[in-house]
Amino acid sequence: MTMKRPNPITPGLLIGFAIAVAFGIALPHFVSDFVTYQFTLALAWAIAMLGLNVLTGYNGQFSIGHSAFFAAGAYSAAIFIEHFGWGPYEAIVGAALISFVFGFLFGLPALRLEGLYLALATFALAVATPQLLKFDAFEHWTGGVQGIFVPKPEPIVSTLSADQSLYYVTFFIIVFLMIITWCLLHSRSGRAMMAIRDNPIAAKTMGINMPLVKTTTFGISAMYAGIGGALFTYASEFVSPDAFNFFVAVYILVGSVVGGIVSIPGAIFGGLFIVFMPNIAQDIRLAYEWLPPPWAIFGVFLILIIYFVPFGVWGALERLIGWTKRKISG
């Protein structure tokens, strides 16, 4: 079955993108620093989810271990700053490169695995990563169970607070990555990625170098997750092994599905869901004490979203816009 492909450029898409960017630029000036910090976390999560969307949604490789790449980026940035004296934005570049190499190398043995077996391999990676970070041999670099404190980057503009500055850096990084992703998916390489997803046998017959495309896609996806992990660490100002347990992989997967795993903008909705929905569930529980605990409420919301909008929030918006256009034109 042929799955959805990325949308072509249309005037409506450009207008919607421009409005979203304008909203994102204006946002920190209308909310508190704490809310700005929450949006920064949401965007950091969204970058990792965008990487998973590329891997799973557009290339068909299923991963439940992206917390490992998230941790790789976070720790790489922290180590570059703590032990090598790099600046925070230089460290993001270094973290991106290391995460890409990590993902690419992991993708090599994963070539022999598909479906549930690949999912199990990535699950094992997610479970093993926090334990490796605690390993005594790496303690000098990783800080062991104590972790590493990472100072929040200084504001890039003196009129901005540290939280506002980091938000803008994160915001423009995800905008840039979304544009790059759209260009990639509309390129020859992107068409090869989706051909492998839709029909691997036909893709091989057409002469597509499947091992190269699949390992490179794994590397790109891991790179995105690593960038998100580095920015998440800057916002949190701390990195430790327990911060990257298996639940982080679950959050990334859940956010991708909720936003729309076969989409680019869906990652934004997924990041917002992961950051704000637990708080909303907590507020509902406080207002109605007879309800079950907040995480049960969170689970109910998740089930409802998956049941009523199986294509994700972005997929539902696309269908709503399409239905509206048909009503207006008809």
In the predicted model, what is the mean pLDDT of residues 15-41? Answer: 94
Scan for tokens 């002469």, then name that residue: 207
Smallest CA-to-CA distance from 224 within 102, 38, 69 is with: 69
Split at pLDDT 50, 70, 90, the class of 327 is confident
pLDDT at 115: 81
Instruction: State the distance between the two ends of the chain, measured CA to CA, in whole angstroms.
Output: 30
User: What does pLDDT average to over the chain?
Assistant: 91
pLDDT at 320: 85
Residues 70 and 230 sit within 8 Å (Cβ to Cβ): no
Smallest CA-to-CA distance from 246 within 141, 128, 160 is with: 128
Split at pLDDT 50, 70, 90, the class of 3 is low
Angle between helices 294-308 and 246-259 (to 10 degrees): 40
With a CB cutoff of 8 Å and minimum separation 6, the contacts of 184 are: 54, 190, 220
Residues 266 and 313 sit within 8 Å (Cβ to Cβ): yes
| CA-angle at 209, arms to 204 and 213, nearest 5° | 115
Query: pLDDT of 132-178, one tens digit each?
Result: 998 888 888 998 888 999 999 999 998 999 999 999 999 999 999 99
Between CA 218 and CA 106 the distance in angstroms is 8
Query: For residue 29, which phi and psi values (nearest 5 degrees)?
Result: -85, -5
For residue 7, pLDDT over 80 is answered with no
Amino acid at site 291: L
Split at pLDDT 50, 70, 90, the class of 2 is very low
Smallest CA-to-CA distance from 313 within 279, 281, 267 is with: 267
Count of CB atoms situated within 10 Å of the CB of 279: 12
Count of all residues that appear for the chain in the document: 330
Between CA 155 and CA 169 the distance in angstroms is 10
Query: pLDDT of 236-276, one tens digit each?
Result: 999 999 999 989 999 999 999 999 999 999 999 999 999 99
pLDDT at 36: 97
Residues 48 and 194 sit within 8 Å (Cβ to Cβ): no
pLDDT at 1: 41
> Among 27-31, 177-181, 256-260, 290-294, whose mean pLDDT is lowest?
290-294
Token pair in block for residue 128: 């093993």
